[in-house]
Amino acid sequence: MSGFATRLESAMRGRGMGVMELAQRASVSRQTVYNLLRPDFDPLSPGIRKVAGALDMDPVDLLPRASDPTGGAGKVMRLLQAASGRKDARAFELLPAALAALDVAAVETLHPTTDAGIRVLGAAAAMAADLTSSGPLRSLAETLRRQEDPHQALFFGRGLADPVRVVEETPAPLRRHKVFGAFDTDLFRRHLGKV
């Protein structure tokens, strides 16, 4: 969830206000509020002023700050969406580095909503935990591993490949999470070095 969406959700929860009530008070559609709560939402919308007014807040107070612990979580969720949708295998390559850069509070805000998201985030967290020795990432990976569907796997990569070779070349943390592709530890280390 982006810093903006996190702040908005927190403000709504603090006032005991749901999506429908906020939409009615702000004179916007429920879809507008749902859009504002999306993790990939870019907060440049005329509905923000109305929603902030309905919450008795200054619109600026809903905008994310550089110091927000959830700012990096928004980036992780955008990468996760691209990777789990198989739209961009490179997004999966970047996920471990993005996860390694998060603090504990931001790691705790990550909640994938699809089976593919659970598998991809679990695998990326396992790889990041192996490379950084991070306890929170290891805990996240184990939690997600218990939630995943063991009968499904995601295959990344281009062209036809021998599945046995792909699995053999896939690092162990990814194999455990049924996310396969021609990835190697050096590739992830390069991305971690850029964080």
Q: Give residue-wise pLDDT tens across range 181-195.
A: 766 666 666 666 654
pLDDT of residue 67: 47
Same domain, 55 and 78: no
Q: Among 1-15, 97-111, 159-173, which is the least confidently predicted range?
A: 159-173
Between residues 183 and 35, the one the model is more confident about: 35
One-letter amino acid for residue 2 of the chain: S
Domain edge (last residue) among 35, 62, 89: 62
Q: Is the pLDDT of residue 69 over 50?
A: no
Same domain, 113 and 44: no
Same domain, 37 and 81: no
**Into how many domains does the chain fold?**
2
pLDDT of residue 142: 87
SS3 annotation, the chain: CCHHHHHHHHHHHHCCCCHHHHHHHHCCCHHHHHHHHCCCCCCCCCHHHHHHHHCCCCHHHHCCCCCCCCHHHHHHHHHHHHHHCCCCHHHHHHHHHHHHCCCHHHHCCCCCCCHHHHHHHHHHHHHHHHHHCCHHHHHHHHHHHHHCCCCCCEECCCCCCCHHHHHHHCCHHHHHCCEECCCCHHHHHHHHHCC
Q: List pLDDT tens digits, range 8-23.
A: 888 888 888 889 999 8
Q: Which domain holds residue 170?
A: 71-193
Same domain, 50 and 84: no
Tell me the C-alpha distance between 43 and 61, whole Å: 12
Same domain, 79 and 157: yes
pLDDT of residue 24: 92
Same domain, 101 and 179: yes
pLDDT of residue 91: 78
What global pTM score does this model have?
0.58
Q: Is the pLDDT of residue 81 over 70?
A: yes
Task: Give the CATH number for residue 8.
Answer: 1.10.260.40
Same domain, 13 and 87: no
Q: Is the pLDDT of residue 66 over 50?
A: no
Looking at every residue in the chain, the average pLDDT score rounds to: 76
